[in-house]
């Protein structure tokens, strides 16, 4: 499949709103790749594919992750929505024939982040949060500006706001999200 064919297939798999978000992540990731001097096409492809597993039903998410030995933590079993990240990387490889490990790991870590993220992982995580169709997060204007100045400061700001949001909405924060925040707090 070429880029256009992947795009058509992704479009057919999701509601219009999610597809618009997907395009927003593709373009925002491209802009950040330009700013930080990394491969623009690679960033676009990662952005396009990052939520490709979003609409697999929760029980299926758990079933496929178990069958394919992708690992399902107790926390993920309670919050199967989180599995769309690692399952997305799996589908990107199996269904879309993407074998670029940098792209695949940027999809795996796009929801929780991880300590010591690669440049592409940071770009996809940040693009997912701030793409132009997102409008609920607090401090979006500030985040969008810092994203083009310093990726690590931007990550820390996003993670701080994300944890505040999750806890105030009654979610328990994923241990990995918390570890990522601690890492970017202490490494700056």
Q: Which residues bind ligand DGI (CB under 6 A)?
A: 21, 51, 54, 79, 81-82, 110-112, 128, 166, 171-174, 177
Of 54 and 86, nearer to ligand DGI (C-beta) is: 54
Q: Which does 180 bind (CB under 5 to 8 A by kind): ligand DGI, Fe ion, none?
A: none
Of 28 and 177, nearer to ligand DGI (C-beta) is: 177
Q: Which does 173 bind (CB under 5 to 8 A by kind): Fe ion, ligand DGI, none?
A: ligand DGI
Of 17 and 69, nearer to ligand DGI (C-beta) is: 17
* Torsions phi, psi for 85 (to 5 deg): -75, -60
Report whether 40 contacts 26 (CB < 8 A). no
Dist. CA 96–CA 12, nearest whole Å: 14
H-helix or E-strand spanning residue 44: helix 40-49
Dist. CA 55–CA 153, nearest whole Å: 32
Of 6 and 107, nearer to ligand DGI (C-beta) is: 107
Of 42 and 111, nearer to ligand DGI (C-beta) is: 111
Q: What is the DSSP secondary structure assignment for residue 82, as one 8-state letter?
A: G
- Hey, CA dihedral for 138, 52, 127, 177, is it positive or negative? positive
Q: How far is the CB of 21 from ligand DGI (least distance, A)?
A: 6
CB atoms within 10 A of CB 59: 9
Dist. CA 156–CA 181, nearest whole Å: 6
Q: How far is the CB of 159 from ligand DGI (least distance, A)?
A: 10
Q: How far is the CB of 147 from ligand DGI (least distance, A)?
A: 16
The residues of the shown chain that bind Fe ion, judged by CB under 5 A, are: 51, 128
């Amino acid at each position: 499949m070429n880029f256009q064919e992947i795009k058509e297939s992704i479009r057919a798999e999701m509601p219009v709103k999610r597809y618009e978000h997907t395009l927003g992540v593709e373009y925002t990731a491209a802009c950040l790749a330009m700013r930080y001097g990394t491969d623009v096409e690679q960033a676009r492809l990662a952005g396009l594919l990052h939520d490709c597993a979003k609409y697999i039903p929760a029980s299926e998410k758990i079933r496929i992750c178990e069958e394919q030995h992708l690992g399902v933590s107790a926390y993920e079993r309670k919050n199967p929505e989180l599995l769309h990240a690692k399952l997305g990387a799996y589908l990107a490889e199996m269904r879309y024939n993407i074998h670029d490990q940098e792209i695949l790991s940027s999809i795996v870590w796009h929801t929780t982040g991880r300590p010591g993220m690669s440049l592409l992982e940071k770009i996809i995580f940040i693009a997912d949060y701030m793409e132009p169709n997102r409008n609920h997060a607090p401090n979006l204007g500030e985040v969008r500006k810092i994203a083009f100045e310093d990726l690590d400061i931007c990550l820390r700001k996003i993670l701080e706001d994300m944890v505040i949001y999750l806890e105030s909405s009654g979610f328990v924060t994923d241990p990995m999200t918390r570890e990522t925040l601690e890492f970017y707090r202490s490494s700056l």
